[in-house]
A = this chain, B = another copy of it.
Amino acid sequence: MSKSLRGWVKKITVPAASLQNNTADAERLIAALKPALSTGTVSIDISLLRNLPGLLRKQDGEFNCTLCCSQDHWTVLGLSPASDPAPLTGAAIDLGTSRVVLRLVDLISGDVLEESSFDNPQIAIGPDILARIHHTTETGGRAALQALIVGGLNGELARLCQSCGVEPETVLLAAVAGNTAMTHLFMGLDPQWIIREPYIPAVNRPNLVKASDLGLKLNPHARVFMFPNIGSYFGGDLIAGILYAGLHHRDETAIMVDVGTNAEVVLGNRNWLIACAGAAGPALEGGVTKMGMMAGPGVIDQVQRVPGSRELRISTIDDLPPVGICGSGVIDLAAALFMSGMLDIRGKLVPEKCDDRIRYQAELAHFMLVNGENSGTGRDLTISQADLDSLIRSKAAMYTILETISQSVGTALSDLTSFYVAGTFGSFINPRAAISIGMLPDLPLTTYHSLGNSSLGGATHYLNHADCLAEIDHIRDSITYLELNVNQDFMNRFSAAKFLPHTNAGLFPSVAREES
């Protein structure tokens, strides 16, 4: 089926009225639409209805009709002559806690016109969700937080539209995928019960909202779809990600790992889905993402070992002199250090193997990756034993979560034939390196697939598939949320995973360390 038939814009012919067919304009339009809609009732937005009579009489009866749908009820948002060259667009929005990513989508062709991103302006109030939610309990705090994100979106949407040469009035639909707290802060919902036991969101499945009710400057009839959440700790961003990855379509069991501000894992197939999310208690303090700096110009994103030696080769973003190292670089580095014997199986630097690249500051060992002469900062670029310890905890946490979720349904990690890694992490991580340190299971490299921004992918999918609502509901309703209970069993597994690649080396047959 073509994208346009599956999309929210329907091409229809509305017959002219006559003395024989003197049904009202709205009802003739709805009758013309019915064959294009599978089921459900239809109504027309009041502000569109006001000028419908003139609109219907402007044209030979051929129209592009833009709709939205909620709970099997369709609403007509826009109607324009089929010959009108003005585009009809939608905005896909990944509403991240730190970074917001947008896409402008042509609702007829389904094409992504352009993508852009900006830092979530709520960072000014608090870098994390907790600080922001606490701020909502102050007078005007909730409104201020909403105004920040809405203002940011309006500015970026205006820039995006200008860059694409379209008017913001052409945007009739927005699809927003965000975690539960961000969704609340964006909609202006009271979020304070999200973070208090028993951790209750205001809503699991928000209804469509008028863009104008949120303060978004789009078409005056535009509606905003918010991906539903399962609870306070499993948000619409993940539902969107599963939709995008298509886990719910497949016969085979697959796994998806999304590492953003939090780490989330979903395992399943067309029959069932199981998920866990968030930090797994104090064991994971520091999380799995606090490794190094954000990617940017001059940041080391790849480290490779020259085979048969302890020499390391680095790559930097934009090939600039190195200024730091990001997450994927740290994993590469740890793998290279371990494979060359400079790191032992406990993750400790081995001074006798590091030669002159080891330094001590206040008795803490540092490994010098780039010396000051070659760095972009004029200073040595080093990684400390503490950083490496943190990485070991992170990788152990990740592996333990993967092991726990798969064991909970009696699936062995080795049985997985598809392993999706979403997010920026997924785009840049080198699965070979992650396997070498035992962060990801030892599966054939062809098993690993990078999804990119899966939340944004899901939001884009929504804009191009009017038939995905039932899928979204199905995903939401079929997920079992696994509370990561940090019990003795979990801690035992975690301890075993704190070795490189693992205390049970048999789990990682491909990792044969060359020691020299």
Contacts and interface: CB of A to CB of B under 8 A. Distances in A.
B207 A43 contact: yes
A17 to B, nearest CB: 4
Interface in A137-178: none
B49 A198 contact: no
B193 A25 contact: yes
A187 B46 contact: yes
A188 B17 CA distance: 21
Nearest to A40: B71
Contact of A198 (B17, B198, B229): B17
B47 A190 contact: no
Contacts of A190: 50-54
Contacts of A47: 213
Contacts of A188: 50
Contacts of A44: 203, 207
A201 B207 CA distance: 30
A197 interface: yes
Contacts of A209: 46
A377 interface: no
Interface string A21-32: 011111100000
A41 B41 CA distance: 12
A204 interface: yes
Nearest to A22: B198
Contacts of A201: 24-25
A219 interface: no
A39 interface: no
B73 A41 contact: yes
Copies per assembly: 2
B73 A25 contact: no
Of the listed residues A23, A46, A206, the one surrounded by the most CB atoms of chain B closer than 10 A to its CB is A46
A192 interface: yes
Interface residues of A, number: 47
Interface in A186-202: 187-190, 192-193, 197-202
A70 interface: yes
Contacts of A52: 189-190, 202-203
A120 B200 CA distance: 50
A3 to B, nearest CB: 28
Nearest to A204: B24
A355 interface: no
Contacts of A193: 17, 25, 53, 57
A231 interface: yes
Interface string A45-63: 0110111111001000000
Nearest to A20: B198
Given A70-B43, A71-B73, A189-B50, A202 B17 contact: no
Q: Max chain B CB contacts within 10 Å: which of A57, A190, A210?
A: A190
Nearest to A205: B27
B71 A199 contact: no
Contact of A27 (B187, B199, B204): B204
A16 to B, nearest CB: 9
A267 to B, nearest CB: 21
B197 A19 contact: yes
Contacts of A516: none
Nearest to A17: B200
A72 interface: yes
A200 B73 contact: no
A191 to B, nearest CB: 8
A209 B25 CA distance: 18
A247 to B, nearest CB: 23
Given A22-B231, A73-B73, A203 B49 contact: yes
Contact of A18 (B50, B54, B198, B231): B198
Contacts of A229: 24
B41 A198 contact: no
15 contacts: A17-B193, A22-B199, A22-B200, A24-B204, A25-B203, A41-B73, A43-B207, A50-B188, A50-B189, A50-B190, A50-B202, A52-B203, A53-B190, A53-B200, A54-B190
